[in-house]
Structure 1
């Protein structure tokens, strides 16, 4: 397994697209935080801090695509054949991808959080407001957002293994978030809370009851997201072991 992990790290060091994708995450957080301040609709208090840093969780859309690249990207560039020829046991190969990409998803969340904290504290100082560094609700929101990033990276690996077309997997993932959870979710009421993106929102939500009334509690969202991650991991391993490479 150590060799497989080192192989995945080597692949990540030699290609640009995953890093360009992850670089967009801090930009999203910076833009979201700046937008919250510029809108001027809310006082710059601890609740606003949680709302600003909740953008760390929303950056999970980038780590989702990042995870999809792990498998579907190899199918697109036809390097998956060499990968499986060098390690015929496909289960450990997918397992290494799940581990490496989940860790990098979490690290991307940490980087986004650091940028978000820097941008938010700068805005607060520029507006003459005191930034509450000791606010536990803000740190809980940040922790939930980082976990959401890690989970969606692993789910992306599973989606890439199930839908081996890179374009198809990315389109399906984004369509799920935008259409199924965004539109259809409104039609099925409380059941939408149990869907992956909404579970992630519950985990990384800002500490404000009005924003979370339609979501699971934070612990519930985390539990549901862990279950989805495990299901996608199992499906990824099982599917990869049964299918032909071509």
Structure 2
């Protein structure tokens, strides 16, 4: 197994895909967190001055201590997690496209061993992408957010762990998604279109009917792993949201954390794990039978 994993790493490093995808990861993680950190920090400054401060204090809100740094981090890493998902698409679909899958399967004792080695390799790649994304989002957050509004030590560690977990899962999700479709271009287009547009439109359009879709659909639950930690810090996850909040106000509040409909981070992780396993096992099963000649 060790040799198969080493071969998988050599295979991925021999291609340009891994470092080309680092470019959008860097740009999105840093600049999304930078922009959101600037916006939320300025907003906290506004509600901490003049008449707005009086209103905020009456509502029991201390603008000086709002943990807006978590919102900044959540938005950066959540948008950028599409990158490891796309990277995962290339794991099997890419090999079928380049015809290298024949060598991969024939040089391993069996297909289960080959796919297991690939899974372990891409779990490590997902973790590395997660570390990089979190580091850039954290840097942008420190630059734009006042020190009193940065996460506490425990919140930093929670956000880091949640980011790595989310990136590992979306990488495996991408592997399964690509393996099921077995077409790189189609899988990448559908993945980007669904995660960035289709599901977000569905959640907003159907919000008045039910706010549960953000808590059960793939994009919402993937975002909810890190976004759920930010939402909990503000008390705007569905479990802790104060009573009396209007339906559409709830959407706005949870969108600010990048996780509309989120129940809690751990619930989001469990639901997205189920989506990941469904696609990953589906791709695994199809590749046990797929002809490689």
* Residues 81-126 of structure 1: per-residue CA shift (max 9 Å, x gap): 22122226222222222221122111111111112222322334xx
Are residue 108 (structure 1) and residue 129 (structure 2) matched?
A: yes
Paired residue secondary structure (1:160) = helix
- The residue aligned with 1:199 is 221
The structure-2 alpha-carbon separation of the partners of 1:134 and 1:160, relative to structure 1 and needing over 3 Å to count, comes to same
Q: Distance in 2 between matches of 1:172 and 1:37?
A: 30
Shift of 1:159: 1.2
Structure with higher Rg: it is 2
Where structure 2 has 5 or more consecutive residues not aligned to the other structure, the ranges are: 46-63, 237-252
Are residue 136 (structure 1) and residue 154 (structure 2) matched?
A: yes
After TM superposition, the structure 1 = structure 2 runs for residues 57-72 of structure 1, keeping only pairs within 5 Å, are: 57-72=78-93
Q: Distance in 1 between matches of 2:194 and 2:175?
A: 16
Are residue 49 (structure 1) and residue 103 (structure 2) matched?
A: no
Paired residue secondary structure (2:292) = coil
The structure-2 alpha-carbon separation of the partners of 1:25 and 1:107, relative to structure 1 and needing over 3 Å to count, comes to same
Shift of 1:175: 2.5
Paired residue secondary structure (1:245) = coil
- The residue aligned with 2:36 is 36
Number of aligned positions between the proteins: 243
Q: Distance in 2 between matches of 1:176 and 1:213?
A: 16
Paired residue secondary structure (2:68) = helix
The structure-2 alpha-carbon separation of the partners of 1:233 and 1:92, relative to structure 1 and needing over 3 Å to count, comes to farther
- Aligned partners of 1:18 and 1:66 also within 8 Å: yes
The structure-2 alpha-carbon separation of the partners of 1:213 and 1:20, relative to structure 1 and needing over 3 Å to count, comes to closer
| Aligned alpha-carbon RMSD (Å) | 2.3
Where structure 1 has 5 or more consecutive residues not aligned to the other structure, the ranges are: none
- Aligned partners of 1:101 and 1:154 also within 8 Å: yes
- The residue aligned with 2:108 is 87
After TM superposition, the structure 1 = structure 2 runs for residues 1-246 of structure 1, keeping only pairs within 5 Å, are: 1-39=1-39, 40-43=42-45, 45-54=65-74, 55-87=76-108, 89-124=110-145, 129-130=147-148, 132=150, 134-185=152-203, 186-187=205-206, 189=210, 190-205=212-227, 206=230, 207-208=233-234, 209=236, 210-211=253-254, 212=259, 214-245=261-292
Paired residue secondary structure (2:36) = helix
> Normalization by structure 1: what TM-score?
0.88
Paired residue secondary structure (1:198) = helix
Shift of 1:131: 6.1
- Aligned partners of 1:72 and 1:165 also within 8 Å: yes
Paired residue secondary structure (1:87) = coil
Paired residue secondary structure (1:204) = helix
Q: Answer 1 or 2: higher relative contact order, Cα 8 Å, separation at least 6.
A: 1
Q: Distance in 2 between matches of 1:165 and 1:106?
A: 25
- Bigger mean CA offset, 206-215 vs 16-25: 206-215
The structure-2 alpha-carbon separation of the partners of 1:213 and 1:136, relative to structure 1 and needing over 3 Å to count, comes to farther
